[in-house]
C-alpha cells in the first residue's frame, strides 16, 4: 500500500474533550514511512496521548524500533532494561503499586523524556486503568493571578522523595529491592513550574509526584501549594481514562501530560512494557533552563 493509501486508512477518534484519541488502521513497527510517522507525531502533539488497539504482533524489539522513529530510546537511569533490549522497562504489579500518584515520567532528571510508549502484555480482568491529564490546558485554566505566580515559580524534583512517599506501606522483599535499585542514585533537579513546549509553543505545568518542594518555600507550604496546582491538572474534564486490553499501546507527550495508575485491581497481575524517548532540558517562560543540582549515591 502506498503512503497515501496507508494514511487514508488511518482514523482518529477523540476520546475526551481535552485529551486523548485512538488511532485505528495502523500496524505499529519500526518500518513506518516518514509521512506516517509525521501523522502520528502531529496527532500526539494535538491530543497529548494516543492509543492503538490490536498490536499483539509487537515484541520488545519491535516496540523499541517503533520508539526509535519518535526519537532516541533511552534506558531508565537506575532500573535495568529487559535482557536483550536497550531501553525496554518492565512495569510489573508484582513490585507494588508505586505509580498510583499523578506524575510526569522522570522529572527528577534535567532532560526528562519527551515521550513514553507503553504496551500491555498482561491485564487484570477488572481495574488497573491508566489516566492522563493535559498540563497545557491545566495551565490555561489557572486564574490570572495564580498563573502569574506559577510563571515565576520553580520546583525541586527528586526520585527519592516520590518513591519513599508511594512505597511507605509496601513491605514485601520485592518492593524493597526495587526501591533500592530506583534510589541507588539520587537525582535532584530544579524545573520551572511552567515550561515552553519546544514544538507546540504551549505553556505546560511541570509538577506531579516527584516534586519535593518549591524553591524558596518551606516543605509544609510547598505541599499545600502543590495540592492547589494539582487540582487544576487533575480536574475530571482535563483527563482521559484508558481500559487496557492485551496488545494495546499508549503513546503520550511527557512534556505536556501527567498520568497515574488506578489502583483497583487487587492482587491480579498487570504487566506492561515501556520505552521512553529522550527529551530536552525545559525552558521557562523567561528563558531560564532547568538545572540538575544533585546526582550521586
For residue range 161-191, what is the model confidence (pLDDT) as tens digits?
Answer: 644 444 445 556 666 677 778 878 999 999 9
Q: 89-111: per-residue pLDDT in tens?
A: 999 987 654 467 999 999 999 99
CB-based contacts of 91, cutoff 8 Å, min separation 6? 99, 118, 270, 271, 272, 273, 274
189 touches 156 (CB < 8 A): yes
Q: Which fold has domain 75-246+253-296?
A: Double-stranded beta-helix (3.60.130)
Instruction: Give CA–CA dist 282/198, Å, rounded.
Output: 8
Block means of pLDDT (10 residues each) for the chain, 297 residues, are 66 98 98 98 98 98 98 95 95 71 96 98 97 98 98 96 48 67 90 98 97 96 97 98 98 98 94 98 98 90
Are the CB atoms for 295 and 160 separated by under 8 Å? no
pTM: 0.93
- If you ran DSSP here, which 8-state letter would residue 283 be given? B
Q: What is the pLDDT of residue 1?
A: 47
For residue 239, which of 227, 257, 226 has the smallest C-alpha distance? Answer: 257
Residue 101 is classified by DSSP as S
pLDDT per position as a tens digit, 103-145: 999 999 999 999 999 999 999 999 999 999 999 999 999 999 9
Torsion of CA 11, 15, 19, 23, to 10 degrees: -20
**Structural domain boundaries in the chain:** 75-246+253-296
Q: Are 205 and 74 contacting, i.e. CB atoms less than 8 angstroms apart?
A: no
Amino acid at each position: 500500500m502506498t503512503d497515501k493509501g496507508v494514511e487514508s486508512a488511518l482514523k482518529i477518534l477523540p476520546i475526551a474533550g481535552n485529551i486523548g484519541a485512538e488511532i485505528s488502521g495502523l500496524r505499529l513497527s519500526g518500518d513506518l514511512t516518514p509521512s506516517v510517522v509525521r501523522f502520528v507525531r502531529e496527532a500526539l502533539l494535538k491530543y497529548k496521548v494516543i492509543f492503538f488497539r490490536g498490536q499483539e504482533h509487537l515484541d520488545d524489539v519491535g516496540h523499541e524500533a517503533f520508539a526509535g522513529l519518535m526519537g532516541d530510546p533511552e534506558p531508565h537511569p537506575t532500573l535495568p532494561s529487559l535482557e536483550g533490549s536497550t531501553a525496554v522497562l518492565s512495569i510489573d504489579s508484582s513490585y507494588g503499586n508505586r505509580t498510583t500518584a499523578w506524575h510526569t515520567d522522570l522529572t527528577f532528571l534535567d532532560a526528562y523524556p519527551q515521550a513514553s510508549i507503553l504496551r500491555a502484555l498482561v491485564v487484570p480482568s477488572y481495574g488497573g486503568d491508566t489516566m492522563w491529564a493535559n498540563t497545557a490546558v491545566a495551565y490555561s485554566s489557572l486564574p490570572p493571578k495564580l498563573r502569574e505566580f506559577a510563571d515565576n515559580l520553580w520546583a525541586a524534583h527528586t526520585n527519592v522523595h516520590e518513591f519513599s512517599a508511594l512505597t511507605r506501606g509496601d513491605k514485601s522483599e520485592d518492593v524493597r529491592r526495587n526501591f533500592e535499585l530506583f534510589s541507588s542514585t539520587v537525582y535532584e533537579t530544579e524545573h520551572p513550574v511552567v515550561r515552553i513546549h519546544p514544538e507546540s509553543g504551549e505553556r505546560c505545568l511541570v509538577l506531579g509526584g516527584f516534586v519535593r518542594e518549591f524553591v524558596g518555600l518551606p516543605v509544609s507550604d510547598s505541599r499545600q501549594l502543590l495540592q492547589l496546582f494539582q487540582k487544576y491538572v487533575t480536574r475530571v474534564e482535563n483527563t482521559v481514562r484508558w481500559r487496557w486490553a492485551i496488545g494495546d499501546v499508549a503513546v503520550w507527550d511527557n512534556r505536556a501530560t501527567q498520568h497515574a495508575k488506578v489502583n483497583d485491581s487487587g492482587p491480579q497481575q498487570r504487566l506492561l512494557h515501556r520505552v521512553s524517548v529522550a527529551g530536552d532540558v525545559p525552558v521557562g517562560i523567561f528563558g531560564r533552563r532547568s538545572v540538575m543540582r544533585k546526582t550521586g549515591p
